[in-house]
Amino acid sequence: MRRFGLVWVLVVFFFSSLRAEDFYTPEDYKKIFLKEIEARLGKVYPNLSLERFSVEPRNVKVEKNIPYKANFLGRAGLGSNTLVLVFFKEGKEALRIRVWGYVEAYVPVLVLTKPLEKGEVIREEHVVFEKKPLSKLPQDVILQKEEVLGKELRTSLKPNVVLRKSFLAEALLIKRGQVVVITARGKGFLVQAKGKALQDGRKEEMIKVKNLSSNKEVLGKVVSSKEIEVVL
């Protein structure tokens, strides 16, 4: 059946009066591939890119008015995909064309504009968005600028490094030895006193603090750069 299909297509090419533009070209196959892949992935990945592409067999000419069906081998996704085009003559399969393509999706991610040392706090001028291939990004990649501003680096990083959540920590709000306000809230009352932080603390962390009036040590939650809240 496939041999018949190949002979039939070649005969049409050499003995018909059709022009060259009446036959599929590699560019036409590329458009078909992109149409089919976007129909399956376009809603999930709006910025698809065809990185590499090939057609087999290469030397077969097929008329554009011949009906065909298109199916991917396996489930279409990012990376390597093979689309099989089955062409029909008089309702019977006449020829198959395999269209292979490597598909990528590009998404904007945050990268560093300059080298930063461990412990530095990330500011607006330290980051910029760049589009990167999604299939090569780590799972904890950061997509929102709000997720990095004001955060502290756990490790030193070079410029153009893609920022990940594992690289970041909440910045220190309170340092050991710092004078703070100890706040105790209850139903219908608020008590405040001066205290001294006995540990470094990040937002929402529980640290030890010494009440400077009573000299008692209590455990409190860091709520700001100046305040520690204790629960009575």
3-state secondary structure (DSSP) of residue 84: strand
Q: Report the length, in residues, of the chain.
A: 232
* Predicted pLDDT of residue 21: 86
- Report the predicted TM-score, pTM, of the whole model to 2 decimal places: 0.60
Measure the CA–CA gap between 97 and 57, rounded to whole angstroms.
7
Task: Work out the pLDDT band at 16, boundaries 50, 70, 90.
Answer: low
For 19-49, write each residue's pLDDT tens digit: 888 899 999 999 999 999 999 998 888 889 9
For 213-226, write each residue's pLDDT tens digit: 899 999 999 988 89
Structure tokens at 170: 């909440």
**8 Å CB contact between 120 and 101:** no
For 158-199, write each residue's pLDDT tens digit: 999 999 999 998 878 889 999 999 998 878 888 899 999 999
- DSSP-assigned beta bridge partners for residue 70: 85
DSSP 171: P
Bond before 57 cis per omega within 30 degrees = yes
Q: What are the structural domains of the chain?
A: 2-105 (3.10.129), 106-170 (3.90.1210.10), 173-231 (2.30.30.760)
Question: Burial level of 205, CB count in 10 A (0-12/13-18/19+)?
Answer: middle
Torsion of CA 221, 224, 225, 226, to 10 degrees: -80
3-state secondary structure (DSSP) of residue 222: strand
Measure the CA–CA gap between 115 and 161, rounded to whole angstroms.
9
